[in-house]
């Protein structure tokens, strides 16, 4: 689909909120923000139309959108999103992690959902301008951060089935506390044998709301079976491990080598996943990307070949998997506690993100 290329850099002028949250209330929120519950005073927004391309970009007061009830996104789910964080370093500066990778992935997701691309410069400017405006909302201490949610929705009021001619791009921001407040705790995983997440030719490798909508019933099944998360198998043979509803998976072997399911087109290409491939290599682990069957997982844990399993994604960073549960029984990894390799990789990544270690790959991008 055509995207009018923005030759001139897009700026996001700030229209400041007349009624920002008081410093007192903000401090109260930042002392225990949880995840995704509170939002900052502003949001970035821009409109795209087929005729005019991207325009009307600005940072405006946070608030409800006026959508026509016939807006295409409400009916046909033409939507894509991103998830990233702004991290406060000890010296007070604020940084993002590989934001150009989020920009590139949003563009890939947009192509798959027949949405226009947001140019990288415009994406980075929207994120930077919002974080500069709401800098006071970036928490400090522990593993807290300002979670950023760029997204794009089809707003055209039209019930005919085709890609929308009017679209909005927004970035909202939400302070997030440490994911694990009482120390890293392994999660339990339910193996979904009735539902799959993505099929060949589908939208599995695009970050779109529809994938999440389709995963919720399996997630509920996981909860009903006493598990935290759900793991999906490939839709073709129901044999190969794909990923969780919103996190990628890694397996650690007794010889220190680590493996993650290869990208087959149905797995979301996590930026955390890609970064761990690099960091683990730097740390001397042999790393590989290949298909991993559920039998290999089960057999490997039973034989002691697989010593640790962990999940990874921006929100929870690196999360040890303690148990795999299915209709066929339960499998406990190691002692059920966080393993040494998982803990090491988690620490290494956090140290780069929070500016406590060198950044040999140039992943950090200063925002404030
Ligand atoms: C966002 C997402 C991930 C993790 O990606 P990161 O870039 O590491 O945050 C993994 N799986 C799915 C389905 C996702 O939507």
Tens-of-pLDDT digits for all 368 residues of the chain?
Answer: 444 554 689 999 999 999 999 999 999 999 999 999 999 999 999 999 999 999 999 999 999 999 999 999 999 999 999 999 999 999 999 999 999 999 999 999 999 999 999 999 999 999 999 999 999 999 998 899 999 999 999 999 999 999 999 999 999 999 999 877 777 889 999 999 999 999 999 999 999 999 999 999 999 999 999 999 999 999 999 999 999 999 999 999 999 999 999 999 999 999 999 999 999 999 999 999 999 999 999 999 999 999 999 999 999 999 999 999 999 999 998 777 789 999 999 999 999 999 999 999 999 999 99
- Find out whether the beta carbon of 249 lies less than 6 Å from any atom of ligand 1: no
226 near 188, Cβ under 8 Å?
A: yes
Q: In this structure, what DSSP letter does residue 56 have?
A: E
Strand partners of residue 306: 253
- Other C-beta atoms within 10 Å of 218: how many? 21
Distance 20 CA to ligand 1 centre (A): 32
Domain membership of residue 362 (yes or no) is no
The tokens for 175 are 């302070």
Q: Are residues 164 and 202 in the same domain?
A: no
Q: Are residues 51 and 165 in the same domain?
A: yes
Q: Are residues 344 and 211 in the same domain?
A: yes
Distance 65 CA to ligand 1 centre (A): 26
Q: Are residues 211 and 302 in the same domain?
A: yes
Q: First vs last Cα of the chain: how many Å apart?
A: 35
Domain membership of residue 365 (yes or no) is no
Which helix (H) or strand (E) element contains residue 133? helix 120-133
Q: Are residues 213 and 344 in the same domain?
A: yes
Q: Which long-range contacts (CB under 8 A, 24 or more apart) does 294-302 make?
A: 294/191, 294/233, 294/239, 294/240, 294/241, 295/239, 297/241, 297/251, 297/324, 297/331, 298/324, 298/331, 300/251, 300/253, 301/331, 301/332, 301/333, 302/331
Distance 25 CA to ligand 1 centre (A): 32
By most ligand atoms within 8 Å of CB, the mutation choice from 96, 247, 250, 275 for ligand 1 is 247
Q: Distance between CA atoms of 341 and 167, rounded to whole angstroms? A: 44
Domain membership of residue 295 (yes or no) is yes
Strand partners of residue 347: none
Q: Are residues 117 and 201 in the same domain?
A: no
Domain membership of residue 18 (yes or no) is no
Q: Are residues 165 and 58 in the same domain?
A: yes
Domain membership of residue 1 (yes or no) is no
What 3-state DSSP class applies to 130?
Answer: helix
- In 3D space, the residue among 120, 124, 135 whose CA is nearest the CA of residue 84 turns out to be 124
Q: Are residues 32 and 110 in the same domain?
A: yes
Q: Where are the alpha helices (DSSP H) in 225-359?
A: 271-282, 294-303, 340-353
0.75 exceeded by pTM: yes
The predicted pLDDT at position 159 comes to 97
Residue that terminates a domain, selected from 142, 176, 210? 176
- Find out whether the beta carbon of 210 lies less than 6 Å from any atom of ligand 1: no
Closest residue CA from atom 10 of ligand 1: 247
156: Cβ contacts below 8 Å, ≥ 6 apart: 71, 72, 164, 165, 166, 167
Tally of domains within the chain: 2
Per the structure, the complete domain to which residue 276 belongs is given by 187-353
The predicted pLDDT at position 4 comes to 52
The predicted pLDDT at position 2 comes to 45
Domain membership of residue 9 (yes or no) is no
Q: Distance between CA atoms of 228 and 223, rounded to whole angstroms? A: 6
Distance 212 CA to ligand 1 centre (A): 11
The predicted pLDDT at position 1 comes to 44
The predicted pLDDT at position 5 comes to 53
- Find out whether the beta carbon of 41 lies less than 6 Å from any atom of ligand 1: no
Please report the atom of ligand 1 found closest to the CA of residue 83.
9
- Other C-beta atoms within 10 Å of 44: how many? 27
């Amino acid at each position: 689909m055509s995207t009018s290329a923005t030759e001139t850099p897009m700026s996001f002028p700030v229209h400041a909120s007349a009624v920002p949250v008081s410093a007192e209330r903000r401090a109260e929120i930042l002392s225990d923000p949880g995840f995704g519950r509170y939002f900052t005073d502003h949001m970035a927004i821009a409109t795209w139309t087929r005729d005019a391309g991207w325009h009307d970009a600005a940072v405006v007061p946070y608030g409800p959108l006026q959508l026509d009830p016939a807006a295409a996104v409400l009916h046909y789910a033409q939507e894509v999103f991103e998830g990233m964080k702004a991290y406060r370093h000890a010296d007070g500066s604020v940084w993002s992690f590989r934001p150009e990778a989020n920009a590139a992935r949003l563009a890939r997701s947009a192509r798959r959902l027949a949405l226009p691309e947001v140019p990288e410069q415009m994406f980075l400017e929207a994120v930077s301008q919002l974080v500069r405006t709401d800098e006071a909302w970036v928490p400090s201490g522990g593993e807290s951060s300002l979670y950023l949610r760029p997204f794009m929705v089809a707003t055209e009021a039209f019930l005919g089935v085709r890609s929308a001619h009017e679209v909005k791009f927004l970035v909202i921001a939400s302070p997030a506390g440490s994911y694990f407040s009482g120390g890293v705790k392994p999660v339990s995983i339910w193996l979904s044998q009735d539902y799959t997440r993505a099929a060949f030719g589908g939208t599995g490798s695009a970050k779109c709301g529809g994938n999440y909508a389709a995963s919720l019933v399996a997630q509920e099944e996981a909860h009903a079976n006493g598990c935290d998360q759900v793991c999906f198998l490939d839709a073709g043979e129901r044999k190969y491990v794909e990923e969780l509803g919103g996190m990628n998976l890694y397996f650690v072997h007794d010889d220190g080598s680590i493996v993650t399911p290869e990208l087959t087109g149905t797995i979301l290409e996590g930026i955390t996943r890609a970064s761990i491939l690099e960091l683990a290599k730097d740390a001397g682990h042999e790393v590989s990307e290949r298909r991993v069957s559920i039998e290999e997982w089960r057999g490997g844990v039973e034989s002691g070949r697989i010593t640790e399993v962990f999940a990874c994604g921006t929100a929870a960073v690196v999360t040890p998997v303690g148990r795999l549960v299915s209709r066929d029984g339960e499998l406990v990894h190691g002692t059920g506690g966080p393993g040494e390799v998982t803990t090491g990789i988690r620490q290494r990544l956090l140290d780069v993100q929070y500016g406590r270690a060198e950044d040999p790959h140039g992943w950090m991008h200063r925002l404030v």
